[in-house]
Structure 1
């Protein structure tokens, strides 16, 4: 009887935890296969740099296999998080941590097959270290004799578009290793991304304990096992991981009642990438609304102003003597794979004069109107008393980031959605977390369309048609999912 009872318990356990284990094993198989097929130690020195499409010789089977893996991973996550039969509870949390850690460590050894930005981080800071070339002012092509300059590809003609703190962080691995050992410099950049992922996971978990303790398991899984986060942060080594870690630190400090220190964390995020600058006014408004006395609001504003001026001084120090060379100021000089690019191509097809500049003006005007709308909403929605659950601030930040990615950015990059994944973990409304989960899926699958599939149908997919298909898939499907969830919640 004891044997039969044990068999029943084991059968129930397998039936309950089978999907969780299947996703864990399947995820590690996928990430391990990528790291085995495209190892960083073997490929980092290839000049010119290569990507997934080139490494697989543009085989359709490779692209379809990648799409299938995305469908299974994102579909499995969605089932585990939101199915009524999901086994997720507090007992799963250590295993979620373990799975995320194993996935991330595996991806440290993956060559950045979907974007070469990490290699460019290394080359720019190498030139800074060896030749004193300010990465914000001096373009890499000024050093054609450097043995690694070929890794920049076509980007050797532009300066850094990032912020000072990131360039300093990216310099450290090169400073710790000898210049001849560029591979160790690249590996050090991977370790920075791994550390940022681990820090973000820790902060997400701490925030969930405070804000959503009853839903901690599935929300932690939402972030920790998200393929977009893992592949773009650790696999490709994007510095967005560091920026988001500081954003999460800012929210955690708010939960701890340290709203002035939260501005310091946001300043650090801005010193990695300039994107969080757009979030700063909303954080200031949150702090103002938390204070009832005008003298306290004034004192708080002075502190925030001091932090902002200090941040501006750091930028001025690194961008001197010619800030106009900073690439971040010229990102809108070209457009691609974005709603803005689609509008430009449509304007050109209709022979509208100055279609490029007119489309950009319209999109920026709509962005500013949307931003103003978010700010007005925040004036009403932010609490007028001390609040330890900054959910409305998170919603406002999410709205601004969506506007930035969809309207302000002229060039689409799939890793932009990783900014939203971390914050959507804390969102109260299903429209946010289900819409963002869908967007992460369409971002990765859309990238396969752009890089592996579109060129096969050049005769049928001229730029306008390709953008109509790609933009509708990447942006339209998540918008529909979010809108549907919003309507279902109201019903």
Structure 2
């Protein structure tokens, strides 16, 4: 049976239409007029009505629609873009986004301010919060995190210190510099994905590189908001490349660099440790890798923390982060329901709920390790599963958490056919729905739900965490039935 593939628009036209959408972002959310204003802005402060919020949602849907059409054109081989074309168009999309206000995450400001703690005041960002310097001109922009030390790894803080040292008191230059870091890391990830898929079907190599480089959610997170997760992902992709080259020491080393950039990068390491232990031919080889790994890793940790002192300060901060106040998460919905039923939401009770949520998360981690040990299950799949589970159990979910599993989903099955698999589709829907969720917790809550957090969570949690799975399931089933 011959499958019918409809004629899709030319990739150049799709790129041009996407560029128009990103130019609209720049026009609607300009950085230059607002970059040094207090309070910090967000989507709702720019889109001041329910109808404006609807317009924002339609713009996101249009960009994702163009993105999907582009992928389908490449997947069906109606378009065969080169790596240079994909990288070049991603740069074009990013040019207006570099001048777009960070509407969904204002961590850019913390990067600049904490970089100044190191470079201007010669203090450790792990021991000294920004409000220790009340005369700093940028302190009012630290917002709710003015009294918090850094939750990031020392490699990131070294980069932040160097960037702040170069940009000095020029806030606009500092923000732009961190956005450029995000863009360069995003491009590096796209290049690495292309190289990692070099041995697969050509349509898959081109299509999956496009799924990364043209992804609107990633461009918004990594360029508009300049979030540092993407630098962690560069190290992880290099580690995957070494793992496929059967170079275990370098695999561990670059995974560790990812964790030293952002500590969430620790989560995939145990699954690779199990996989490599199984792959080594004997105990002598295993002990040799273990010994050199401890020496190399210990040296990397020591040198990276050397300018800042003990890593215990960071560990203390991460404990505070994990037990912090609830956000937009399934756990928060549970707390809101319990509060509605009369349960006092004391800090002790919230912490106990967070601890109970960690139990199934920990059990899943043990099961994934056992599956890798017993059956040789791919560490890429395990990393995707564990990071996705982390986003589900985290009491204070953040938008950028949705980017963590996506990298692993793209690469988890190298031998799969070029059509989009169920798990990857779920990851794509998750990225879209997370971006749209700001309208539920913002515009919909304020203008239609009377400000009710409970009502917003009752809509938002199924929309973010359940709907992507259902959409991926039905789309995959329909695709198989239609031989797509």
1:323 aligns with 2:313: yes
What's the counterpart of residue 389 of structure 1? none
Relative to the length of structure 1, the TM-score reads: 0.87
The CA deviation at 1:257 is 2.7
Once residues 38 and 271 of structure 1 are traced to their aligned partners in structure 2, the CA distance between those partners, rounded to angstroms, is 33
Once residues 401 and 14 of structure 2 are traced to their aligned partners in structure 1, the CA distance between those partners, rounded to angstroms, is 25
What's the counterpart of residue 394 of structure 1? 380
1:245 aligns with 2:234: yes
1:298 aligns with 2:287: yes
1:5-404 mapped onto 2 (5 Å cutoff): 16=7, 18=9, 20-56=11-47, 58-82=48-72, 86-91=76-81, 93-177=83-167, 179-313=168-302, 317=306, 318=308, 320=310, 323=313, 326-331=316-321, 332-352=323-343, 355-382=349-376, 392-404=378-390
Once residues 185 and 58 of structure 2 are traced to their aligned partners in structure 1, the CA distance between those partners, rounded to angstroms, is 28
The CA deviation at 1:83 is 7.6
Per mean C-alpha deviation after superposition, the further-off stretch among 345-354 and 261-270 is: 345-354
- The answer (yes or no) to whether the contact 2:64–2:432 under 8 Å persists in 1 is yes
Relative to structure 1, is the Cα distance of residues 447 and 65 closer, same or farther in structure 2, using a 3 angstrom cutoff? same
Q: Identify the structure with the greater helix proportion.
A: 1
**SS at 1:242 equivalent:** helix
Relative to structure 1, is the Cα distance of residues 358 and 325 closer, same or farther in structure 2, using a 3 angstrom cutoff? closer
The CA deviation at 1:103 is 1.0
Once residues 10 and 311 of structure 2 are traced to their aligned partners in structure 1, the CA distance between those partners, rounded to angstroms, is 58
Once residues 271 and 185 of structure 1 are traced to their aligned partners in structure 2, the CA distance between those partners, rounded to angstroms, is 22
The CA deviation at 1:75 is 2.9
Once residues 215 and 338 of structure 1 are traced to their aligned partners in structure 2, the CA distance between those partners, rounded to angstroms, is 34
The CA deviation at 1:364 is 0.3
Once residues 477 and 359 of structure 2 are traced to their aligned partners in structure 1, the CA distance between those partners, rounded to angstroms, is 28
What's the counterpart of residue 9 of structure 1? none
Relative to the length of structure 2, the TM-score reads: 0.88
Relative to structure 1, is the Cα distance of residues 88 and 380 closer, same or farther in structure 2, using a 3 angstrom cutoff? farther
The CA deviation at 1:224 is 0.9
Once residues 78 and 110 of structure 2 are traced to their aligned partners in structure 1, the CA distance between those partners, rounded to angstroms, is 40
Relative to structure 1, is the Cα distance of residues 414 and 321 closer, same or farther in structure 2, using a 3 angstrom cutoff? closer
- The answer (yes or no) to whether the contact 2:152–2:263 under 8 Å persists in 1 is yes
For 1:260-317, what per-residue CA distance to the aligned partner results, in whole angstroms no more than 9, with x for missing partners?
1011111111111100111111111121111121111111122223344335535764
State the superposition RMSD in angstroms.
2.6
Relative to structure 1, is the Cα distance of residues 267 and 405 closer, same or farther in structure 2, using a 3 angstrom cutoff? same
- The answer (yes or no) to whether the contact 1:405–1:412 under 8 Å persists in 2 is yes
Per mean C-alpha deviation after superposition, the further-off stretch among 197-206 and 20-29 is: 20-29
What's the counterpart of residue 427 of structure 1? 412
Relative to structure 1, is the Cα distance of residues 310 and 406 closer, same or farther in structure 2, using a 3 angstrom cutoff? farther
The CA deviation at 1:485 is 6.9
What's the counterpart of residue 443 of structure 2? 452
What's the counterpart of residue 413 of structure 1? 398
- The answer (yes or no) to whether the contact 1:174–1:182 under 8 Å persists in 2 is no
Relative to structure 1, is the Cα distance of residues 355 and 321 closer, same or farther in structure 2, using a 3 angstrom cutoff? closer
**SS at 1:43 equivalent:** coil
Once residues 449 and 414 of structure 1 are traced to their aligned partners in structure 2, the CA distance between those partners, rounded to angstroms, is 13
For 1:228-256, what per-residue CA distance to the aligned partner results, in whole angstroms no more than 9, with x for missing partners?
10010011101011111111111112223
Once residues 422 and 78 of structure 1 are traced to their aligned partners in structure 2, the CA distance between those partners, rounded to angstroms, is 17
Equivalent of 1:441 in 432, 441, 458:
432
Once residues 411 and 314 of structure 2 are traced to their aligned partners in structure 1, the CA distance between those partners, rounded to angstroms, is 38
- The answer (yes or no) to whether the contact 1:159–1:325 under 8 Å persists in 2 is no
Unaligned runs of 5+ in 2: 1-5
Unaligned runs of 5+ in 1: 1-14, 384-391
Once residues 345 and 466 of structure 1 are traced to their aligned partners in structure 2, the CA distance between those partners, rounded to angstroms, is 11
Once residues 365 and 357 of structure 1 are traced to their aligned partners in structure 2, the CA distance between those partners, rounded to angstroms, is 13
Q: How many residues align?
A: 465
1:476 aligns with 2:462: no
The CA deviation at 1:180 is 2.9
- The answer (yes or no) to whether the contact 1:371–1:400 under 8 Å persists in 2 is yes
Once residues 48 and 146 of structure 1 are traced to their aligned partners in structure 2, the CA distance between those partners, rounded to angstroms, is 17
Once residues 309 and 349 of structure 1 are traced to their aligned partners in structure 2, the CA distance between those partners, rounded to angstroms, is 49
Once residues 247 and 324 of structure 1 are traced to their aligned partners in structure 2, the CA distance between those partners, rounded to angstroms, is 21
For 1:169-198, what per-residue CA distance to the aligned partner results, in whole angstroms no more than 9, with x for missing partners?
112222223x33232222211221121111
Relative to structure 1, is the Cα distance of residues 489 and 54 closer, same or farther in structure 2, using a 3 angstrom cutoff? closer
